[in-house]
Structure 1
Amino acid sequence: MQLLSAGIDEWSPHVLSGAMLANARGAHAAPVSEWILSAILTTYRRWPALIRYQDQHTWAHRRPGTDFDTLSGKRVLVLGAGAIGTAVARLLPPFGATATMVGRTARAGVHGVDELPDLVAEHDIVVVICPLTPETDGLVDAKILAAMPDGALVVNAGRGRVVDTDALVTELTAQRLRAALDVTEPEPLPEDHPLWTCPGVIVSPHGARTVPGTNRLCYEVAAKQVAALARGETPPNAQAR
């Protein structure tokens, strides 16, 4: 079974044992990493506050909520060292930011997930882009969030369930952390959910990949997968069940 998505969590429980399930790894790297960078810059440059002032026809020079910040010099922890996480890490240096990669296991240039509790305390931004698995479900919990520095930013473009929603709401309500979320738990986010009104949060409706050209990239990956299968090879993105 060939998916056009980066994640396989929605399909995996329904695939029979012995079948191969393949994702479109690599196709989403450019659009999703671009969304992540835009979310960081939008937060630091206070665009939500500026737009609200614009709606009121207010020239917002030095108004409350317009304490601008810069990405330059920031330390970014990227939780997920796959194609998207790697693309995020490549985008940061031109802005003067540094990236630290965290993967399931430690390897050259990548820290293991077991180091996460110590690493978050040293970073200004945590980007969550890892897949949802039994090991990552609720991984960014109250303890991890509490270890982040005051004013730090959580960016989640992976899966909503990787981050403990209740713990995040607590930190946002206290105005200790900020967040930019393309995915949530639950999803879609109910209209009465507290995340909508938490201070310092941007919510995007799981649309980081939804730009022109993404489907073409997905089908290009799928075509390569099918071609590998036709040659008698195991498709590179396939996982045996």
Structure 2
Amino acid sequence: MTAADVWLPIPPDEIGGLPEGPHYRFWDGGEDFPADPARCVFYVVPYMKPAEVCLRPLPHLSSAEVVQTLSAGVDNVLPGIGSLRPGVRLCNARGVHEASTAELTLTLILASLRGVADFVRAQDRGEWLAGFRPALADKNVLIVGYGSIGSAIEDRLVAFEPARVARVARSERTTARGPVHPLTELPSLLPEADVVVLATPLTDATRHLADAGFLARMKDGALLVNVARGPVVDTEALLAELGSGRLTAALDVTDPEPLPPGHPLWRAPGVLISPHVGGPTSAFRPRAERLLRDQLSRFVNHEPLRNVILTTGTTSEV
């Protein structure tokens, strides 16, 4: 183990409690690699960097045993997984982003319903913009993607007294709060929801999940909130609904992303856009460091790792 390298996107001397044994190297996506990638056994993917940066070392990681993301999703590294040798475990950052993403989700819902963006613009004009606005109280909310983030969103939703929270995930199950419906039941649930929250991973099955048919099933005046990944929503279909005034939207992620200047989404009526800030908050660093300490301790001591999404060369997923 002493000859093996671990690549970290946080300077190792700033992370207390790392286990002894590996040689820790700092790499946050710079042009030059910190050492020979062939000696890296544990690669921690740089956070909030373009996919091409995160993927660049993968073809050279001939000794890799673990690829660890610091994001909840792994879609940014999946395209390069095929270049790794069999037996490499891909792990996500479950436990790091739930609180921050759930916070932003509630912020987007409340800001959209209560017209906070309109108030800010009115303040800039020195205008007192009074009047009635929709409340979250007594609304029906549908959470599409009920993993750890979806559950954290519901934890915070209940304090605002919604009439009902419905949950949808890839597979049907029962939770302490109630049933989780399978994706096949989504068409019957959409017309009942005042607020639809997308918190699902980006996969082949969820790409353009919110397409023209999905959006058409949403009730008039409903709010679509996307804190998942931009391509979960068909942008052109959403623009059509926004342009008609039938739906509103709050988007922390977009397709394309970053949203370029002049894109029609910037000017679409009834949309609130935040620049993919669900995860990067003051809560990120301490939680990411805690995850890395735990995972690396498990790795060094040959204990089972947490958050294993898949193992290369197998068909099993966790």
Query: How would you bin the TM-score normalised by the shorter chain?
Result: over 0.9
Does 2:172 correspond to 1:103? no
Matching residue of 1:228: 298
- Residue identity opposite 2:100 in structure 1: P
Matching residue of 1:53: 122
Q: Deviations over 1:210-238 (max 9, x none)?
A: 21121211221232222233332331211
Gaps of 5+ in 2: 1-66, 313-318
Matching residue of 1:211: 281
**Which residue of the other structure, out of 131, 135, 145, is the alignment partner of 1:80?**
145
Q: Deviations over 1:141-196 (max 9, x none)?
A: 11010000001001001100011110000000101000000000000111111100
Matching residue of 1:195: 265
Q: Deviations over 1:76-98 (max 9, x none)?
A: 11111111100011111111113
- Residue identity opposite 1:45 in structure 2: R
- Which one has the largest radius of gyration? 2
Which aligned pairs between 1:120-135 and structure 2 lie closer than 5 A? 120-135=190-205
Gaps of 5+ in 1: none
Distance 1:76 1:61 in 2: 26
TM-score (norm: length of structure 1)? 0.95
Assess, with a 3 A threshold, how the Cα gap between structure 1 residues 114 and 231 changes in structure 2: closer, same or farther: farther
- Calculate percent identity across the aligned residue pairs: 42
Distance 1:168 1:136 in 2: 16
Distance 2:98 2:165 in 1: 16
Matching residue of 1:13: 79
Distance 2:250 2:266 in 1: 12
TM-score (norm: length of structure 2)? 0.72
Distance 2:204 2:304 in 1: 25
Matching residue of 2:98: 29
- Residue identity opposite 2:161 in structure 1: G
Alignment size in residue pairs: 237
What do you get for the CA RMSD once the two structures are aligned? 1.2
Matching residue of 1:3: 69
- Residue identity opposite 1:104 in structure 2: R
Shift of 1:17: 4.7
Distance 2:200 2:285 in 1: 21
